[in-house]
Structure 1
Amino acid sequence: MLHFFKNLKIFAKILSLSTLLLLFVIIVAAYSLNQTVLLSDKLKSLSKEEIAFLGVANEVSTLQLEKNIYIERALRLILKRKFNESASFFDGSEPVVNKHNLQLIKKTTEGVQVGLAEIDKLVVNLLSKQWSAKIEKNIVNIREDFNKLKGEIVEFDAKVQAFFAASNISSELIEGEILQLERQQDTIDEHIISLMAGVERLTLDIIQESEQLESSAVKRTVIFTLVSVLVGTCLAFMIAKNIRVNLNKGISVAQQLSSGNLAVSFVANQQQDEVGQLLRELELMSQHFRKVLSKVTESSMHISQLASTLSNNTSDTAKDTEAQQSGIEQIASSITEMVSSIQEVSKNAHVAAESTQHADQQATEGHDIVSGVTESISTLVTSVENTSEVIKQLAKETANVESILDVIGSIAEQTNLLALNAAIEAARAGEQGKGFAVVADEVRSLALRTHESTQQIQTLIRNLQQQASNSVTKMDEGCTYAAETVQRATKAEASLKNIASAVNTINSMNMQIASAAEEQSSVAELINQSVEDISHKTQLNAERTHQISKESHDLSSLAETLQSAVKQFKTN
């Protein structure tokens, strides 16, 4: 087990330690939480049951006390009547207050029975839960006391009902019954007090048991915590010691390697953790370095020889490069002049292309304007034709109006005749027809004005018909002129379209010329750029050749220095 633990990775060791400690913490926390929840549930259950129990018990005690008061009032009235030698209490002639007392006694009795049933349920509920032997015994004692109390209350209620159901009872018997009922009531009160005291004792016992459980849970939690801390400390010490010993081995080997001792001996290490892997990798690195240093020694000697040869060759190359650079500069000057000429041609072609493009744009705009005028004139012709139709329709309608006016004139003439006849009849009637004569005159006057207005309207309608006829004639002439204008505009549009096509062809040719000139300029520019690059690179090559020659001497010196440095390492 210990060997397996040593072979674990450092991360796995630390992770296993952390996991184990976390597991201990979770166990302790879960146990504490479980005990706390159990204790809280018990206390909540106790508080709820106790409050309910005490509430119901107090209610039963209160109702029982009220019932005793009502019974005492009824008995006092019975005694008073007996002493006054009145009729029997239940002969039907008693006052209303006695009936009211009996109703109150019955109501409180029913309330007490309901409270006793609730107490019985609470006791059964307490017995259904798990408790210790002591608490369960207290609950059983409470149930026994409750059963006795319940029997006494039932017996007391039965005696009260029997007493009030009897008739013609002597005063001595009444007094005896009253004393007996009072003793039973005192016994019931004592048992209620005893029952409530038992509930309080039960509560104290449960609280004491809960405190014991809490104390036991705290002790167990402390023990678990101490054990977890002890185990975690031991594991942490073991892991730290194992890591420290292995790291010291790795540090010792690394110090020897850093001092140049590549022949250091590595002790066989079988550990599979990171430190063991590091030692094995250091051993492989040492072996690799020994091989590399051997090759470096051989290579440095060969480099020294090659550096001398390279220095001689680069001197000759530098001379040839300088001659080549002079010829390339002359070529670059000629190409620059050619590029300038081509750019001038391209510039002129662009100017011509822009001019033809502007002319094409103007022709296109003229074509669009003529098209718009043609469309406007066509729209105008359509509008004038529509207006002519409307005016013609208006002339027809005015003819209809004239016929209607003829009818109105005829009606006005008939109205005038009727008014004249009415005036004649009114004159025959004498004094009785004076009012009717006035109305007849007004009607005749209205008929005359209607006739005059009708004639005026007829005159206006004839003038309107004449003007409408003239308008239709003029609009027909306008339509003819507009149609001729549309034809001419169409011809102008076709001419502008031909002009635009010709200008577009010229523009296309100019663009082709400009494009060809630009391509020639681009090619010449590329050639010029390439020649310049070649010239620049040739110059750089010349400089680099001189630099290589210089560095060849430096390389020879470095090879000698490298040989001296390699000799410092121990490889045997």
Structure 2
Amino acid sequence: MLTTIRAKLFFLLFVVLLGTVSLSYLLISNTNGAEKASSQIQTTGDISKYTAQLLMYARGYQLFFDQESLDSYNLSYKNLSDNLDTLQQRLQFKENIDRLSQIKEDLQKHHTTNAARIEIMKKYTTQITSPEFLASADGKKFTQLTAQLHTENISLEDQVTKFSNAIMAYEDAQLEKFRIIGIMMALVISGLVSFLFWFIASQIKRSIRKSSDECNYIGQNKDLSHTIQTLGNDEISQMMTTVDTLLSQLSTAIDGAKRTALENAAVAEELSSTSLEIGKRTEDAAKEVDETVIATQAVASILKTSEESSTHSGDMIASVADELGDASKEVLAVSSDLQTIVVSQTDLSSRLEHLDQEVSQVRQVLSVISDIAEQTNLLALNAAIEAARAGEHGRGFAVVADEVRKLAERTQKSLVESNATVAVIVQSVTTSTEMMKKSAEEIQALGLRAETTQSLMLKTVDNMNEAKELALGTAKDAKAGSTKSNEVLVRINNIHQLSTTNARSVEEIASAAEHLSKLSNDLSHALSVFKTA
């Protein structure tokens, strides 16, 4: 029943209150007994006083025969009778009650005798001392009553004195009895309260000492799996049960933290390996970009040469057309020049075909870069996933992985634009090649026919003008191809810069992964000191 500290303290409080109430009741009883004893002693004193006054006023009337002494005598008798009646109602001791009854009986006899004497004294007044009165019958009766009254006075005084002494002795004994009982009750209650206080305090101290020992064991051994043993089922035991539950939950949390630390270390190692692989591929991409730059520069040089050749061809065709208008005599020379032009056009056509091949190589290089960018994007996505698995410790890696992914997307976008530009260049080169072949065939046919058909000179002039326009168009296309090649070169340089940035980002990821691995190892070492199983 008294399992909790609260219940024990309430029980102790109840005992203290019960003892206090008991002592208060005993004190009140003793006080009432003392008041009762004091009242009885006072009443006994009044009885003695009124008895003395009764005898005094009786003698006074005998000496002075005055009415005042007689009235005082009667009042003293009445007061004495009233006090005897009052005291008789309060007495409990039989011996004292018997004594009081005897006093009342003696007082009644004394009053009867004294009343007869007073009647004689009222009748004879001062003559009661004369010999004649003493010799008479009333005198003899008066003398007899006086002797009897003297005996009764002595007896009454003696009874009152003994009764007063008996009452005082009885009341003193009662007061002493009450005092002893009060002391014994106080000692018993004090002893009981002290014992209960010692017992309850020892129980609480045992429970506290046991809980303290258990907590010290856990603190010294760092054994979170230890179950706290308690005594009883008081508040301290309940508190230790709560602490035990908390330690169990803390042990589970530390186990989870240990596993998380190991997983973080594994993720950091994997992230470091992935970063190294991305760095290697980024270096490969940079090499491919360098080769693409060289190839693109060669294409730009070829296009520039083609532009110059086409412009020169246009100028020559214009000059031939003018000369054909002035003199047909120069047909053979023109035919020779046309042969030269045919050779130039054939050479230009050959160079344009070679340019077409070079552009095809550029497209292959851009395809390789596109594959590298896609792989970089996938690796950045894997790095972001691993960083997300790392939780709070991988937040920095997630940012770096996101930047790598954005750079890869920008690389792919630039490659798409470069492929479009290369496609335009290929289309332009193809068109120019076909046109140059056609122009060469027409110029060759014109040269052969110039030797035999001067009548067709005017038509040849027109054809030369057409060839002029074609040559100018070819120059324009070659110039456009050169411009596009320069643009491709700029974009490839951008790709090279992105690859460099990717390399730096990969280095940062590797450094961050190494730092995460170190933090995970430190965390594992810090948690390993706690015993959780």
Compute the TM-score of the two structures, normalised by the length of structure 1. 0.46
**Larger Rg, first or second structure (1 or 2):** 2
